Amino acid sequence: MQIDFQDPDDWRFISDQVMGGVSTGRVDFHAADGRHYATLAGDVSTENNGGFIQIRRDVDGLPASATAMVLTVRGNGAAYKVHLRTRQSERPWHYFAASFDAPAEWTDITLPLADFAPNKDHLQAPVHPTDVRSIGIVAYGADYHAKLDIAGIVLR
């Protein structure tokens, strides 16, 4: 299964402003150099109990055989996260997370599903692929300028 960035309507931008935070950002969509990709950019601020900007896409489960996500990304060297919300996620802030650093050149980053850790005690690891309800690409948890290009996600 491949998830792409050709249709902007498949993705939505969310920031910590939904809960009173002050982070700012945007997502832009591009077609260049033979690829479609999204750019998540902005300033993440931990002021006022905030600390994230993200783009999120709803999905109706991932293939049962999936054991890893491969993201094609480039960025500013900062750390980013992938958040997976599942059937267990009762609240928007319940998710499984894995981190990666985004190098300056296009790179494939492999995130085994077994490495996604629950952020709340009631979430039971491991992630079951068919239970995934959304995928979020997130700049999170520190004061920094985010700039991340994402060209695709392949489930293996």
Segment 101-124, tens digit of pLDDT: 999 999 999 999 999 999 988 899
pLDDT of residue 35: 96
Token pair, residue 45, equals 């601020």
Q: What is the mean pLDDT of the chain?
A: 96
The pTM for the full model equals 0.96
Ranges of residues in the chain with a pLDDT under 70 are none
Q: How far apart are CA 124 and CA 141, in angstroms?
A: 23
pLDDT of residue 96: 98
Q: How far apart are CA 52 and CA 128, in angstroms?
A: 25
Q: How far apart are CA 84 and CA 125, in angstroms?
A: 12
- Domain 2-155, what fold? Jelly Rolls (2.60.120)
Backbone angles phi, psi at 123, to 5 degrees: -80, 130
By C-alpha distance, which of 81, 93, 92, 49 is closest to 146? 81
